[in-house]
């Protein structure tokens, strides 16, 4: 019998917490606080496999005035071959 009461109390606690979080989200949305957009990161496309890579982390191959960006050493080797 005490287990049934414990389960009821637990169920009520879970329902109250869910309602509290739901109402908190509604209030936060109603305030209309503008959110700052996240800073974007420029991506480059690997010409061999088509994977998009962050330019700062890409493997680079410079051929005269042209620069190619690769996701890995293997793709750069395949491009050179």
As given in the structure block, the two tokens for residue 66 are 């042209």
Q: Which residues contact 71 (CB under 8 A, 6 or more apart)?
A: 46, 49, 51, 53, 58, 59
As given in the structure block, the two tokens for residue 40 are 């974007």
Strands 66-70, 52-54: pairing is unpaired
pLDDT tens digits, the chain, 81 residues: what are they?
888 899 999 999 999 999 999 998 888 877 776 667 778 888 999 999 999 999 989 999 998 899 999 999 999 999 988
Distance, in Å, from the CA atom of 8 to the CA atom of 27, rounded to the nearest integer, reads 28
Residue 39: the pLDDT is: 81
Backbone angles phi, psi at 69, to 5 degrees: -120, 135
* pTM for the full predicted model: 0.52
Q: What is the DSSP letter of 43?
A: E
């Amino acid at each position: 019998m005490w287990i049934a009461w414990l389960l009821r109390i637990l169920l009520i606690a879970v329902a109250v917490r869910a309602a509290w979080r739901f109402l908190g989200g509604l209030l936060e949305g109603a305030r209309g606080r503008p959110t700052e957009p996240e800073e974007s990161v420029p991506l480059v496309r690997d010409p061999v496999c088509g994977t998009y890579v962050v330019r700062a982390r890409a493997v680079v191959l410079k051929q005269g005035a042209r620069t190619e960006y690769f996701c890995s050493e293997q793709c750069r080797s395949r491009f050179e071959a």
